[in-house]
Amino acid sequence: MADKQQTDPAPQWWSRPEGTAEAGRRDGVPAPRPDTGGADHVQDAAPTQDVPPQDVPTQDVPAQDVPAPGVSDLTPDVPAAVPAVRYDPWGAEPLQVVDRGRTPRGIGLWQVVALSLGTALLAGGIGGYLGVLAERRSSTRLELPQAAGAADRGRAPESVAGIAATALPGVVTLHVRGTKGSGTGTGFVLDQQGHILTNSHVVADSQEITVTFSTGESVTAQLVGRDSGYDLAVVKVSGVRGLHPLSLGNSENVQVGDPVVAIGAPFDLSNTVTAGIISATGRPVTAGGDKGDGSDISYVDALQTDAPINPGNSGGPLLDAKAHVVGINSAIRGADKEDATRQGGSIGLGFAIPVNQGKRVAEELIRTGRATHPVIGVTLDMDYAGDGARVGDKGEDGKPSVVADGPGARAGIRAGDVITKVDGQRVRGGDELIVKIRAHRPGDTLTLTVLRGGRESTLKVVLGSANGS
């Protein structure tokens, strides 16, 4: 508001600061008088001039208990009763009032709730952080229970882990590149000279052979020799030190139910270990025959196992509980081709070449590059549907079915004879007879049961020898 004098009602008299009233008043000038109510306002003291003293009448005003503020003690002649308080320019408080806004009210309920929530959240966060910090710095830590035992404790030699630890350094993976493409197989070290045994079908038509050891090191290998009739081959690496040849067992001692371990590279997954048992022995297995003339057919008197064997396992070792090789993994049996659900992998029927047969063939391949086959010198009728193996009426190119002066001829075998047993074991077809014969060495003597004209007889035959393919 503007700073101006208040004119309604008019002040009765002006008060001055202490010590100024008497000093400014000349002799003869009367003191200010109270307002009589008839004038609008009273002017300040007139200019100083000589004026004769006059009597100034006063108006009786009822006395008040509290003297009016602003009345100076310099006017003792003024009656105790004074008019209402007027604006005093020299007073302690000004007429103007400063607007300081609304008087603040008390804190509302929602403010209390918000403040409480904020405080709680802040306290919780600080408490959680301090708790985590204290847990991290504390010597006590959470530790789940664990079975006691030394972490580096070895495994029993006859356990699967023990067998694998013994054999893995001697097992290799073969990558073969040929004119028809590339493939993967497995092999194992035979001796310190670097000879490695594998399957013939792994290295067939090979142009380049790479051998990778369990350590991951790879070297180039050379083909020493192979025989498709036994599905066995030998390759050799040179300049490699620290080889770990595997120990060969005796496949004639293998019995059904014996635990076995297979090692290989199924689907190119090197150093894969599977375990199972010997589920059968003496299984006549034929494989190959892609050429159509029968020259590449393999005849194996196989060990049957349920240890998972898949493509890539071919040529790998089948080991007994002493980590001795008892077989060379060679083939698997899948679902029938006509079956829409046929599986490409193992269904629990794997077949391995007995190591006794593999040993003999490997020795011949290392010495001469070729293997010999035991024969009886006859041509079989492979279309015969009866029980047993029938000797054909004629041989190839119209020649006699029984080779003159051959092992069979010397034993008394004739054309049309049906061979039903070999060493007392029944033979159901021509393939089985070949398998049983090739399970032996040239020079071995076999006892054949022959059916001729409805009568059975036994004949002794000494196996001859023929060069393999």
- Within a 10 A sphere around the Cβ of 401, how many other Cβ atoms? 22
Question: What is the three-class DSSP state of 435?
Answer: helix
Contact indicator for 326, 319 with CB cutoff of 8 Å? yes
Contact indicator for 248, 359 with CB cutoff of 8 Å? yes
Instruction: In whole angstroms, give the CA distance from residue 332 to residue 345.
Output: 8
**Catalytic site residue 72?**
no
Q: Where are the beta strands (DSSP E) in 350-402?
A: 350-354, 372-375, 389-390
CA atoms within 13 A on the CB side of 310: 16
Number of helical (H) and strand (E) elements in the chain, helices listed first: 6, 19
Of 72, 298, 314, 401, the catalytic one is: 314
Closest Cα partner for 407 from 367, 365, 440, 358? 440
Question: Max Cα separation, the chain?
Answer: 192
Of 35, 88, 231, 306, the catalytic one is: 231
Of 201, 324, 373, 440, the catalytic one is: 201
Instruction: In whole angstroms, give the CA distance from residue 111 to residue 382.
Output: 104
Please tell me what DSSP assigns to residue 442: T
> At 178, which amino acid appears?
G
**Catalytic site residue 320?**
no
Structure token digits, residue 148: 């006691």
User: What does 24-73 look like in DSSP terms, one character per residue?
Assistant: TPPTTPPPP----SSSS--PPPPPP----------------SSPPTT--T
Q: What is the dihedral of CA 235, 240, 242, 246, to 10 degrees?
A: 0
Instruction: In whole angstroms, give the CA distance from residue 139 to residue 134.
Output: 10
With tokens 């299984």, the residue in question is 283
> At 204, which amino acid appears?
A
**Catalytic site residue 231?**
yes
List residues with catalytic annotation: 201, 231, 314
